[in-house]
Amino acid sequence: MTKQITLTIDEKQVTVPQGTLVVDAAKKIGIDIPVFCYHPKMEPVGMCRMCLVEVGRPVIDRTTGQAVLEADGTPKVQFGPKLETACTLPVSEGMVVVGMSDKVKAARKDVVEFLLTSHPLDCPVCDKGGECPLQNLTMAHGVGESRFNYDEKMHLAKHVPLGELIFLDRERCIQCGRCVRFQAEVVDDPVIGFYQRGRAIQIATFSEPGFDSYFSGNTTDICPVGALTTADFRFGARPWEMRATASICAQCPVGCNITFNIRREAKSDGEIVIKRTMPRQNEQVNETWICDKGRFAYHFTEGKERLTAPLIRRGDDLTPVSWDEAIEFVAQALRDAGSDLLTLASGRLSNEDLFNLRSLSDAFNGKTALYTHMAGGDLTAQVGVGQGTNFADLGAGSVILVVASDLEEEAPIWWLRVKQAAERGATLIVANPRPTKTDRYASQKIRYAYGNEAATVLAMINALSAKRPELPGKVQATAEIKNAAETIKNAENVIALFGSEGLGLEGSAALAQACANLLLVTNHTGRANNGLIGVWPRANEQGAWDMGLRPAADLKAALAAAKMVYVAAADPLGDDPALAATLGEVPFMVVQELYLTETAKLADVVLPALPFTEREGSFTSGERRVQRFYPAVLPRPQARPDYAITGEIARKAGVDAETDSAARVMGRIAASLPDYAGIHYRRLAQVQEQWPIVGRGDLYYGGTGYENKQGLGVQLAPAAQQGQAPALTWPQVAEIAVPEGSLLAVPVTVLYDQGITVSTSPLLQTRIPQPYLTVCPAEAQRLNAEAGDLVQVSLGEQAVKVTLRVDENIPAGVALAPRSLGLPIFAPAAIQVRVAQKATV
């Protein structure tokens, strides 16, 4: 254990671990030492000089090594001649810190006066006004009048776009460097930096497009002035005019805790609307950060085109009807279809919705299918990470294995957490066919060919264990694989993250099994900080598996066999036009959606659902943390929460179901699923004190993110932790055969895609690429194509035109097809590519 140090700050004694900085030690006992440049999550730099304090240290007799005592027996304390910065000063035994003396007060007064020499009197028009550390600390420590000449204030550019998302006001910047340090230290995207010197120093971006980082929005939270603001919120409202509601980000399986700031507005026709998204602190999930997708891509819930009434097909048209009529109609169809029902739902829905859908389907002995391209959720429920897992606890002695995942694109905050663990000394092993940003922190890198994901992990087991599964000849236990296997075997903690880079359902199922086996063989399951995590494509995919939904191995066949299909929060036709014929022949289709999707256009009944911002519910994150979200804005009239729609259909059809509140559905979940036993909404809303302190009174310290008052969630225990050891089963590893003259197209995930949850955000529009396909230079040469050419991709009977990109890091014979970007490729597939139109130079 770290040595504990006792010191005195403003006459209060505090004991903190060795290495703690004085400013943090003071904060822990409620003493505020003002700071601008210091941030508890970054290395101190002592640039702003706001945290000056008087420091005294006990006098040690050099001959005896003993503390010199005063006449009254107390240790003699010698104060330094100058003030010291509390943010760069680690505590030492017997230290005496004085932060309230006249000398300190005078110094702080001067620092504030100096910071304001060129700060504009902008507070009335500044977006930070009202939640501005400089404003607050000036009120607390500054003088009323400045001795500096008002006319000497520098007049600088007030609207410098650092890219489309973040704007810089050069005048307001106090050169604390928090943003520059955040980008360089915390997220390792050093795309902004200081330019010039002294009074002329300014923040500049040197990336193309500007401020090209998935984490850029966080700089506006930690900026102690209004120099960096988001384009989304620019002049949107004053901070005191908005109310805050807690929510959970619905974009990826990390489950970042967020806060929606809401306000009733005239320009939104008097509706209550979301004005901005801010991080909500949960040190076990997202700390105080969120990614830009989470921050800016909530607009999909606000579309004007959202469904406004239940629709029933009359002839060729979908006609609005009353809810009673629609529900009666669906219930009748259910009774007719009986066990020929197929329920298709995606992980975009909450646990409650999925549970009700599953219950309804089970009552009729129908089938359920999870709409996804990734499998393995049953394994994460068995050998998933143990209760109490926190990436922040991983350091030396821990191993994080990332297989087949471009983590930053698939789950940016996990990337950040994994990166930080690696910096603390954890061994990061990255196995991926091509280099990704995760490689920068990898201690060990394993490259394999697309298609050999599971085999590579199995080869690790082969290197360790006698239980040798059969492997394709191509995969050999290389030195890297053996080394990685040894590292994993000897590690104290191992967390394995598997993604879906280049994988479809079959491949990811095999990979998940292989990873689970590796963890079982090396005995890294059933404990905190050990286990398997799926980097799912959707926020609540883990919850969907837990609720008992499983993907259909052959969706087309399952759809064709059903007499009634109940689709919720999925758009199979929009994603894959090849399903048109199959879906067109489904005798009766119900679609429960926000928008009139391609699938909904073919439906017999369309039911308008509510997005997560307008209702209550819970998501289960990839780390199997059940977290609760609250309604932020009023529900649109006529639309209903998914669980209520399903519940009412069930009741009408004679099945017992909860419809009134999500909390009661959760009660049923807890009663029927052993893993969720004991979970209830009040428990999900419990909080405890977190460090560092952020929000309101302490926004100068931790930033303007919100403190968590609405619940940290509850992490579930996997089966392995409950004493049930899952059996080892060996996956079949199939080799993919690619015909001569074809390329192997593999699906990969990109953060900003054309899915409806991103494309509706006006701000991210410019960051969403046009549909493209990436190949290596040799392959491009073979195709006689160059980057930027329009190529025709033939896939079975379909042909799609996309732009060609060339990347030298991609293996030969392979083309990367980004998901949800125009190409209907869900699993590795052979494609033919030819140039359709040369790029105009």
Partner 1 sequence: MGAIKEIARGMWTTLSMMFEKPVTIQYPEVKRPVHARFKGRHELHRYENGLEKCIGCALCAAACPADAIFVESAENTDEVRYSPGERYASTYEINFLRCIFCGYCEDACPTEAIVLGDNYELSFTSRREAIYPKEMLLTPVPEGGKPTPQTVEPGFFTRSIPVMQNPTD
The smaller minimum CB distance to partner 1, of residues 126 and 179, is found at 126
Tell the smallest beta-carbon distance from residue 335 to partner 1 (Å): 51
Establish if 113 lies at the interface with partner 1 (CB under 8 A).
no
Query: What sign does the dihedral 307-310-313-318 (CA atoms) show?
Result: negative
Establish if 238 lies at the interface with partner 1 (CB under 8 A).
yes
320, two tokens? 């609005």
Q: Which range touches partner 1 (CB under 8 A), out of 118-126, 540-548, 629-637, 764-772?
A: 118-126
- Of 173, 224, 219, 225, the residue nearest 195 (C-alpha): 173
Establish if 149 lies at the interface with partner 1 (CB under 8 A).
no
Tell the smallest beta-carbon distance from residue 268 to partner 1 (Å): 9
Site string for partner 1, 742-781 (x = CB under 8 A): ----------------------------------------
Q: Which residues of 173-187 are buried (b: 16+ CB within 10 A; e: fewer)?
A: bbbbbbbbbbbbebb
Rg (CA), the chain: 29
**80 vs 90: CA distance, rounded Å:** 15
Q: Which range touches partner 1 (CB under 8 A), out of 121-129, 342-350, 623-631, 725-733?
A: 121-129
The smaller minimum CB distance to partner 1, of residues 266 and 479, is found at 266
Q: Which range touches partner 1 (CB under 8 A), out of 123-131, 138-146, 303-311, 590-598?
A: 123-131
- Any idea what the Cα angle at residue 489 is, between residues 487 and 495, rounded to 5°? 80
Strands (E), 413-518: 427-431, 444-446, 493-498
The smaller minimum CB distance to partner 1, of residues 83 and 162, is found at 162
Site string for partner 1, 241-280 (x = CB under 8 A): x-----------------------xxx-------------
For residue 673, the one-letter residue type is L
**4 vs 253: CA distance, rounded Å:** 38
Q: Which range touches partner 1 (CB under 8 A), out of 153-161, 276-284, 290-298, 524-532?
A: 153-161
Number of residues that bind partner 1 (CB under 8 A): 17
The smaller minimum CB distance to partner 1, of residues 200 and 266, is found at 266
The smaller minimum CB distance to partner 1, of residues 275 and 538, is found at 275
The smaller minimum CB distance to partner 1, of residues 165 and 497, is found at 165
Tell the smallest beta-carbon distance from residue 174 to partner 1 (Å): 19
Tell the smallest beta-carbon distance from residue 125 to partner 1 (Å): 4
Give the residue, chosen from 2, 13, 208, 240, that forms a contact with partner 1 under the rule CB under 8 A: 240
Torsion angle, alpha carbons of 802, 803, 808, 814, to 10: 10
Establish if 235 lies at the interface with partner 1 (CB under 8 A).
yes
Given the DSSP bridges, would you call strands 367-370 and 341-345 parallel, antiparallel or unpaired?
Answer: parallel
The smaller minimum CB distance to partner 1, of residues 169 and 352, is found at 169
- Of 230, 238, 242, the residue nearest 297 (C-alpha): 230
316, two tokens? 């060729």
Q: Which range touches partner 1 (CB under 8 A), out of 56-64, 238-246, 372-380, 388-396?
A: 238-246
The smaller minimum CB distance to partner 1, of residues 139 and 841, is found at 139
The smaller minimum CB distance to partner 1, of residues 57 and 238, is found at 238
Establish if 139 lies at the interface with partner 1 (CB under 8 A).
no
Establish if 124 lies at the interface with partner 1 (CB under 8 A).
yes
The smaller minimum CB distance to partner 1, of residues 118 and 361, is found at 118
**793 vs 773: CA distance, rounded Å:** 9
Establish if 154 lies at the interface with partner 1 (CB under 8 A).
no
Establish if 153 lies at the interface with partner 1 (CB under 8 A).
no
Helix, strand or coil, per DSSP, at residue 508:
helix
Give the residue, chosen from 29, 69, 100, 125, that forms a contact with partner 1 under the rule CB under 8 A: 125
Tell the smallest beta-carbon distance from residue 759 to partner 1 (Å): 24
Establish if 30 lies at the interface with partner 1 (CB under 8 A).
no
Give the residue, chosen from 57, 103, 109, 158, that forms a contact with partner 1 under the rule CB under 8 A: 158
Length of the chain: 841
**6 vs 93: CA distance, rounded Å:** 6
Tell the smallest beta-carbon distance from residue 235 to partner 1 (Å): 5
Partnered with residue 282 across adjacent β-strands are 287
Q: Which residues, other chains included, contact 554 with Cβ-Cβ below 8 Å and sequence gap of 6+?
A: none
**574 vs 374: CA distance, rounded Å:** 18
Tell the smallest beta-carbon distance from residue 159 to partner 1 (Å): 6
Establish if 121 lies at the interface with partner 1 (CB under 8 A).
yes
The smaller minimum CB distance to partner 1, of residues 236 and 692, is found at 236
**129 vs 112: CA distance, rounded Å:** 17
The smaller minimum CB distance to partner 1, of residues 127 and 353, is found at 127
Cis peptide before 209 (omega within 30 of 0): yes
The smaller minimum CB distance to partner 1, of residues 237 and 670, is found at 237
Given the DSSP bridges, would you call strands 317-320 and 814-818 parallel, antiparallel or unpaired?
Answer: unpaired
Tell the smallest beta-carbon distance from residue 201 to partner 1 (Å): 21
Site string for partner 1, 191-230 (x = CB under 8 A): ----------------------------------------
Site string for partner 1, 544-583 (x = CB under 8 A): ----------------------------------------
DSSP summary character for residue 326: H
Contact 274, 298 (CB under 8 A): yes
Q: Which residues, other chains included, contact 462 with Cβ-Cβ below 8 Å and sequence gap of 6+?
A: 468, 469, 471, 477
**599 vs 605: CA distance, rounded Å:** 11
Tell the smallest beta-carbon distance from residue 229 to partner 1 (Å): 11
Q: Provide long-range contacts, Cβ within 8 A and 24+ apart, for 308-317.
A: 308/608, 308/636, 308/637, 308/638, 308/639, 309/608, 309/638, 310/605, 310/606, 310/607, 310/608, 310/638, 311/603, 311/605, 311/606, 312/604, 312/605, 313/603, 313/604, 313/605
Give the residue, chosen from 155, 197, 199, 304, that forms a contact with partner 1 under the rule CB under 8 A: 155
The smaller minimum CB distance to partner 1, of residues 3 and 155, is found at 155
Helix, strand or coil, per DSSP, at residue 764:
coil
Tell the smallest beta-carbon distance from residue 274 to partner 1 (Å): 15
| Element holding 17 (H helix, E strand) | strand 12-17
Q: Which range touches partner 1 (CB under 8 A), out of 175-183, 199-207, 233-241, 564-572?
A: 233-241
Give the residue, chosen from 45, 67, 237, 830, that forms a contact with partner 1 under the rule CB under 8 A: 237
DSSP summary character for residue 587: S
Helix, strand or coil, per DSSP, at residue 196:
coil
- Any idea what the Cα angle at residue 459 is, between residues 454 and 463, rounded to 5°? 155
Cis peptide before 637 (omega within 30 of 0): no
Establish if 159 lies at the interface with partner 1 (CB under 8 A).
yes
How many C-beta atoms surround the C-beta of residue 409 within 10 A?
24
The smaller minimum CB distance to partner 1, of residues 274 and 539, is found at 274
- Any idea what the Cα angle at residue 640 is, between residues 635 and 646, rounded to 5°? 155
**804 vs 793: CA distance, rounded Å:** 10
Q: Which range touches partner 1 (CB under 8 A), out of 117-125, 413-421, 425-433, 821-829?
A: 117-125
Helix, strand or coil, per DSSP, at residue 267:
coil
- Of 505, 549, 613, 615, the residue nearest 347 (C-alpha): 549
Residues forming contacts to partner 1 in the complex (CB under 8 A) are 121-122, 124-125, 129, 155, 158-159, 234-235, 237-238, 240-241, 265-267
